[in-house]
Amino acid sequence: MTAPGVESAIPAGRTVGERRLHPVTPFRRAWAPVAVLTGWAVHDPNQAQEQLTKLTTTMVLGGLAALVTAGALYGFLTWWFTYFSVTDSELRIRTGLLFRRTAHIRLERIQAVDITQPLLARVAGVAKLRIDVVGTDKKDELAFLGQGEARALRAELLARAAGFAPETAHEVGEAPAHELMRVPPAKLALSIVLTGATWGSLAAALVAPPFLWLTTHSVWTVLATAVPLLGAAATTSVGRFVGEYDWTVGESPDGLRIDHGLLDRTHETVPPGRVQTVRIVEPLMWRPLRWVRVELDVAGSANSVLVPVAPRAVAESVVARVLPGVTVPGEPLRPPGRARWCVPLWWRGYGLAVTDTVFAARHGLLRRHLALVPHAKVQSVRLTQGPWRRLWRLADVHVDTGAGKTVTARLRGAEEAAALLREQAERSRTGRRTARPDRWMA
């Protein structure tokens, strides 16, 4: 539906016209009161059962009907008073039934526009648009839009963020994508089975409840413990499989596109130039198969996984796409042998490699993590040295990134750490001067 265009009192740009969300949007709030009641019943089952025994079936059904109607009415009113529009310089989202709120999202600060489709939204043919903006942790969203409208609006916002003129941005359309890799469901399932966290959570869910029953003989204690443990086991196995099902990575002019999900389908974009850190994770049981997992730290974005599982060579080729010009270094250099007196046994899991493009630090003996930080993304460098490490002439070098994360090269020799501190500061300054632009489609 399209509301009549209104002229804005803000001189920042020309109002193209305000539009409403999809008409199916009000129904998503209709069942909210029922969900609240269900949560109360689960939280206090005894009180809920006591209250239900005082009511007749007619009263219960009538009350539920009244709650659903009230929720639907509230959803309709919030939908009716919600508009969005794209001007020459910003996306405006106007919401509020009693208290009005207008979000002004500058187009040049948009760094990602993702499309998500929960299961019921897929059935209804609608989608949710989530917008990442530089400098904010919370995503603004438009829920829901028709699938075609959501894709067209996403393409227009990215084109405008890339600098296309307002008159031609809506004609650019969605940039074509070239598929780089796809994770087969069988490989994903096997990778989950070969993950230690899956077996650990399952063992805890099977062992803890019987032990508590033998010691307490309390059904409620067993249930209060078993339900969260079973939920954690399901999340680390079935939940991960459902969320990462049919994981596809494609390359387009507006960045790397990631599509995934069995029930809830998600279409994400890795913002170009804003990846701060790439982590290559190698669990113990994956090593004979040479499989790895690739994770990301993106400034101001919730994107955290790039590749859930893939052969190392394929994963490194995808890393080269998200970090152009970067080659994953070989075996990192271990700390000196005297580091065993500070961290016995586990000191062998630490390592450091510095190339012309990245600062790479490894940690973990059983589950290895190799973190890659492009020199241009380093915000600060620090050296720390406690009294025990000072005794053994060892120090840690910390590299801070724009995503609020820190990568640490641990247990380096004191002289090596001091030289690394000076050299990394210079590499960071040089890297920022020669870094590629962060603009979309640049």
At 286-314, the pLDDT tens digits run 999 999 999 998 876 666 899 999 999 99
Kindly indicate the confidence band of residue 79, based on its pLDDT and cuts at 50, 70 and 90: confident
The confidence score (pLDDT) of residue 272 equals 66
The confidence score (pLDDT) of residue 309 equals 97
What gap in Å lies between CA 156 and CA 14, rounded to an integer?
16
**Can you tell me the mean pLDDT for 64-88?**
82
Per-residue CA distances from 258 to 43, 84, 164 (Å): 37, 26, 24
Q: Is the pLDDT of residue 371 over 70?
A: yes
Q: Is the pLDDT of residue 31 over 70?
A: no
The confidence score (pLDDT) of residue 436 equals 64
Question: In 3-state terms, what secondary structure has residue 153?
Answer: helix
Q: Which residues contact 413 (CB under 8 A, 6 or more apart)?
A: 335, 336, 393, 394, 395
- Convert the pLDDT of each residue in 141-163 to its tens digit: 888 999 989 988 988 888 877 77
- Convert the pLDDT of each residue in 213-250 to its tens digit: 888 878 777 777 888 887 777 777 888 999 999 999 99
**Can you tell me the mean pLDDT for 41-63?**
73
Q: Is the pLDDT of residue 7 over 50?
A: no
Position with higher pLDDT, 161 vs 256: 256
Name the most confidently modeled range: 21-35, 155-169, 358-372: 358-372
Query: How high does pLDDT run on average in the chain?
Result: 84
Kindly indicate the confidence band of residue 15, based on its pLDDT and cuts at 50, 70 and 90: very low
Q: Is the pLDDT of residue 327 over 60?
A: yes
Please name which of 388, 397, 385 lies closest in space to residue 360, comparing C-alpha atoms: 397
Q: Is the pLDDT of residue 40 over 50?
A: yes
Per-residue CA distances from 278 to 297, 393, 427 (Å): 7, 30, 18
- Report whether 53 contacts 19 (CB < 8 A): no
Q: Is the pLDDT of residue 281 over 80?
A: yes
Kindly indicate the confidence band of residue 325, based on its pLDDT and cuts at 50, 70 and 90: confident
Please give the model's pTM, rounded to 2 decimal places: 0.80
| Residue whose tokens read 């109360």 | 40
- As a whole-number percent, the residues of the chain with pLDDT over 70 amount to 85
Q: Is the pLDDT of residue 14 over 50?
A: no
What gap in Å lies between CA 306 and CA 310, rounded to an integer?
11
The confidence score (pLDDT) of residue 43 equals 67
